[in-house]
Chain A
């Protein structure tokens, strides 16, 4: 299994509070991704990173920010959590070449915003 951990695995927070989720990898892969998964929507890409300090938006990036100061860590921050951000969040990594990639996913973080 790819060495990917996510922390915390479960979190309950209140509307308006900041929340940071951490993804840590031991594979030295260049690319890292944050997805959210909700019933009826499948997996949706929030942000991704293609190197240290290099990030870009995905399809549902509003309300989220990311940072990557080291190859192994990719942080997802909800600046002011809302109930609509209650979801399961998955981190993924890949070592993409030009035309194909295989992504390896972490175990997920369940976030409940009250």
Chain B
């Protein structure tokens, strides 16, 4: 099954950028990289996804390494509401069509 590796926890100061790394060395050429986050006492929510190119949306940016074996979720200005567990995963033929969630990174944002 697909496996991703993320740091267990990270800290950031409010209003500063945050770079959340993820390694996904088993990714195949057609797998999309997805990021989700889970706020306290809520279900996970979709953040962003991409295949090869860097992606931006209103929530975050996704930077994908050229070999696609790693990616970085970028929160440009962290807010207290961004404190959550962030999950990196990938989907496609290498994981039989099912999203596999790892342990995720717990992000703490300090005021």
CB neighbours (8 Å) of A100 from chain B are: 32, 34, 49, 51, 91-92
User: Contact residues of A with B, CB < 8 Å?
Assistant: 35, 42-45, 48, 58-59, 90, 92, 96, 99-108
Chain B 29-54 interface 0/1 with A at a Cβ cutoff of 8 Å (1 = within): 01110101000001111100101000
A-B contact pairs, 11 of them (CB 8 A): A42-B102, A45-B100, A48-B98, A58-B98, A99-B30, A99-B91, A99-B93, A100-B92, A101-B91, A104-B46, A107-B42
User: How large, as a class, is the contact surface on chain B?
Assistant: 20 to 34
A102 touches B46 (CB 8 A): yes
Q: Which 6 pairs from chain A and chain B are nearest by CB?
A: A105-B43, A100-B32, A43-B101, A105-B44, A102-B46, A42-B103
B103 touches A99 (CB 8 A): no
CB neighbours (8 Å) of A43 from chain B are: 44, 87, 101
Chain B residues touching A, majority SS: loop
A102 touches B97 (CB 8 A): no
CB distance from B38 to the nearest CB of A (A): 8
* Cα separation A80 to B42 with both chains bound (whole Å): 27
